[in-house]
Amino acid sequence: MPTDQPRVIEGDLSVRDLRIACVASRFNDYVVEALLRGAVETLKRHGLPEKQIEIVRVPGAFEIPLVLRRLAMSRRYDALIALGAVIRGDTPHFDYVAGECASGVGRVALETGVPIAFGVLTTDSVEQAMDRAGGKGGNKGADAALTAIEMVNLLRRLEP
Ligand code: INI
């Protein structure tokens, strides 16, 4: 029966043959490890085998975009997940580190066409960061993993 509803195009959460890498920073590692656990558990829960997940560690959030770029340009990954924690209390450079990281990640995704989920927390305190890394604010690493899967499948559906 014909309908006059607009066609909706969206990505689903199937993982099929995906290869996904997480780039995780060591700075504030107690927060980032919780984000990473959330991301990996979510990928596995949706059926992605462990051997199709890679983890690359970098010193801090500032280093994330460069490494993402290298991975994206290798064409070995369907999606990438950036995980880090920039906490204002730690540094007067907060705005620079957080800003460079966020704009760098966005630039790499646009430049390479590889979907990159942004799971880098930018918070005023450690407490706020922990809330979002498995506490009462959920786990932003897990959310980023879902975004990565959905975006791969959406971009595949949008291929000409
Ligand atoms: N890196 C972070 O990932 N989080 C932070 O909170 C942070 N602070 O507070 O300074 C931080 N700094 C290090 C930065 O990312 C680089 O690793 C460093 O400047 C060397 O390039």
Q: Is residue 12 part of a domain?
A: no
pLDDT tens, position by position, 11-41: 999 998 999 999 999 999 999 999 999 999 9
Phi, psi (rounded to 5 degrees) for 58: -125, 160
Q: Is residue 16 part of a domain?
A: no
Tell how far CA 131 is from the center of its chain. 18
Domain count of the chain? 1
Q: The domain spanning residue 44 has which CATH number? A: 3.40.50.960
Averaged pLDDT, 34-49: 98
**Counting every residue, how long is the chain?**
160
Q: Is residue 5 part of a domain?
A: no
Q: How far is the CA of 64 from the centre of ligand 1 (A)?
A: 10
Q: Is residue 107 part of a domain?
A: yes
pLDDT tens, position by position, 115-130: 999 999 999 999 999 9
Q: Which domain holds residue 74?
A: 22-154
Given 93, 127, 138, 157, the catalytic residue:
93
Q: Does residue 46 have an active-site annotation? A: no
